[in-house]
Amino acid sequence: LLHLSRRRTREAVPFPSLMFIAQVPYRSVRRRRLRDRLLLLLRCLAIALLAMAFARPLLRAAPETARDTRRDVVLLVDTSFSMGYGDHMERAKDAANDLLSGLQPGDRAAVVSFAESATAQGAFSGDAVVLGQQVATLEPGPGRTRYSTAFKTARSLLLDSSAANREVVLIGDLQRGDFGENEDARLPPGVGVTIVDVGEGGKALSNLAITEVSLDRRPIDNASEAREEIEVSARVLRRGPVGDDGPAVEAELWIDGRQVGRREAELEADGSANLAFEPVVLPSDVYSRGEVRISGDLLEADNRFRFTVSPGDSIPVLILDGGPGGRSPYVAGALATGTRPRFRLDRTSANSVRADEIQRARVIVIDDALSRLTADARSALIDAVERGAGALVLLGRSESGGLPAWGLDGDEPLRQELSGRSLASIDYDHPIFSPFAAARSGDLSGARFFRYRGLSELPSRDRDKAADSSREAAAGDAANREGERVGGDASVVARFDDGSAALIERRVGRGRVAIWASTLDAEWGDLVLQPVFVPWIDRTMQHLAGFEPDRPFYRVGQVARLDLGERQGEEWLVVDPAEKRTTVPAERELLLPVRADGFYEVRPVEGNAQRALVVAANLDPVESDLTRLDAVELRLSLSQESVTVETAAESGEDRAAVERQRIWWYVLLGALLLLAIEGWLANRKGRRVPRMERAENWNADGLTAGRPST
């Protein structure tokens, strides 16, 4: 119809006059008929192609039998200790077995258990029996939940997979653990994520836990043997609502396998209580194993808290006097008041000390007596310090006599100030002075010093080299810096207000040497009369001895640091809570990784079992909080790519159909090409007038009856 209704537009020809044109009426109207059949064909074909293009024809794909349907599934099973709540672990195993039973021929799966770390139970396998055996061995462990490690392990497994379909299935109680973002935990493209919740859904869970134990130790001096009175306090916490057993909680104290105390408390929802047990008298020369127990909930892993009562800490201190005029009673009197640790004092004259006495001491105090030491005593002193002992050298009236190994030449000049000097530059970051850095912890600047010796801040072997340098610049810098390193192996940790060094510390081998420029008496200064003197000398002895008190317990995941003392040539046997035995070489210090809750025992392979050390390990209390994590939040936080991939995987068939519909682009291009040809052809035909049509429009007088034609 559009083709037939199209009219040609003829051009009008202007005439100067119409007098020569006769008006002749039309006798007939010529019937319209199809004349441009080629144009009609092109126009119909173009419209048909346009309709076909917008209909988007679909090409048939290959037969479905040729499609790759293999699957590789990584099965992540939570084995943190929160999975021990009720029957959560059994539910997880059932869910894993159901998934394994649904594997088709050609499918493979890998079982991965995770808590603080992730462990693959084996490589990808299509054997349902082998995979089922791996699932059956899974049990809750002592670790806390860390989702990032699980997804990181799954990523590493799937990167090597060539299967067309890859999937990660997480089975757990969704306890809120560590789910922070980790770039290594993002899954590869094309991997779907399925989360199977084996918890209690939206139900709030109740859990009792012991989160902390503290010990108050008091020595019993009048006992016939070394004994201590121990008071144990435990913090008990209820997370969530009150359970079916009510708010009552009963706690028991066990020492070395026997019950020695009991306490009760009422804990409401999300409540806590500190339970203090009656004091217990224990021997102070051996390790004792303690445990606080509660009951009444469905998670028993955190209902026990273990601790150790280590032997009474004591540091052997040897004081070498310079003769009858020695001033060691002030030092000895201050150390006698210490209880944690206790100091075992031995006092002798410097000119008669034996080498074995020096070797047994952890700290040697040389009170104005360095020049009186014999050659053997000097050699024993240097050897003891190099092997880890500490030495405190107090300079006094007599010259030091020199000790080149420590940079002392014995020529320190004596200085006197009638008005006294005070400590002005103190390195409060140093362990000797760090306890006094806080406000109201002791004022060291209040002490006055009337006599002191000018300490050289460079070892004797470096003094000749330093003399050639700019002395004025070095002296100016030295007077204004606190705790500076001098000589490469020494540091000034305290200065008098005139800039001269008051206390210098040097490392000698594995030990430390502290050199005090004055005395510790009431004659050269009044530091011994200040309230801060007792805690200061106590802290100085601990630092020189390298003392660190034994910790009553550790957490799973920490590293226990054990001081084995001077036991060279011995091997040590480490027995973990599962009774697994490991032999380690003898060292002064043993670093023991704590991987399970319970008691670790460290003892010599050959020797007295009384020398054994015991380490208590407990679970991380964070895992006791059974607050749940939303599955969507977990998916978004750990594997944002997997969310996109999962959505893309669901629309994969649609994308395949679109790929097969791309022919519509070519059809549309063909329609546009035909329309272009039709326009060109129609324009060309419109510019030509058929001769037959022009002849029919003239009358007998040679003029047209109507509008003239060209």
- 330-371 pLDDT, tens digit per residue, is 888 888 877 668 888 888 888 888 998 998 899 999 988 888
Q: For the beta carbon of residue 595, count every other beta carbon within 10 angstroms.
A: 18
Beta strands 280-283 and 227-239, pairing class? antiparallel
Question: In which band, very low, low, confident or very high, does the pLDDT at 609 lie, cut at 50, 70 and 90?
Answer: low
Most confident range (mean pLDDT) of 23-27, 257-261, 322-326, 481-485 is: 257-261
Q: How far apart are CA 451 and CA 516, in angstroms?
A: 12
14: pLDDT strictly greater than 80: no
286, burial (CB in 10 Å: exposed 0-12, middle 13-18, buried 19+): middle
Q: How far apart are CA 399 and CA 391, in angstroms?
A: 18
* Residue with token string 């490392």: 507
693: pLDDT strictly greater than 90: no
Q: How far apart are CA 87 and CA 18, in angstroms?
A: 113
Least confident of 39-48, 589-598, 621-630, 632-641: 632-641
pLDDT reported for residue 572: 85
Q: How far apart are CA 480 and CA 495, in angstroms?
A: 10
Q: How far apart are CA 76 and CA 198, in angstroms?
A: 13
Arithmetic mean of pLDDT, 477-485? 36
Helix, coil or strand: residue 241: coil
705: pLDDT strictly greater than 60: no
pLDDT reported for residue 457: 64
pLDDT reported for residue 201: 72
Tell me the average pLDDT of the chain.
80
pLDDT tens string 259-282: 999 999 999 999 999 999 999 998
Arithmetic mean of pLDDT, 671-699? 67
Q: What percent of the chain has pLDDT over 90?
A: 32
Helix, coil or strand: residue 609: helix
Which H or E run includes 479?
helix 471-480
With contact defined as beta carbons under 8 Å apart, do 477 and 483 qualify? no
pLDDT tens string 624-651: 988 888 877 777 665 444 433 333 333 4
421, 448, 606 from 500: Cα distances, Å: 10, 15, 52
61: pLDDT strictly greater than 90: no
Q: How far apart are CA 9 and CA 276, in angstroms?
A: 113
Going 606 to 608 to 611 to 617, the CA torsion angle's sign is positive
654: pLDDT strictly greater than 60: no
155: pLDDT strictly greater than 70: yes
pLDDT reported for residue 706: 45
Least confident of 374-378, 478-482, 497-501, 592-596: 478-482
477: pLDDT strictly greater than 70: no
686, burial (CB in 10 Å: exposed 0-12, middle 13-18, buried 19+): exposed
Arithmetic mean of pLDDT, 613-626? 92
107: pLDDT strictly greater than 60: yes
Q: What is the DSSP string of 73-101?
A: EEEEEE-SGGGGSTTHHHHHHHHHHHHHH
Q: What is the DSSP string of 642-691?
A: HHHHHHHHHTHHHHHHHHHTTHHHHHHHHHHHHHHHHHHHHHHHHT---H
Question: In which band, very low, low, confident or very high, does the pLDDT at 411 lie, cut at 50, 70 and 90?
Answer: low
* Residue closest to 174 by CA, chosen among 681, 692, 693, 626: 626
* Residue closest to 557 by CA, chosen among 592, 520, 523, 527: 592
Question: In which band, very low, low, confident or very high, does the pLDDT at 699 lie, cut at 50, 70 and 90?
Answer: very low
pLDDT reported for residue 689: 47
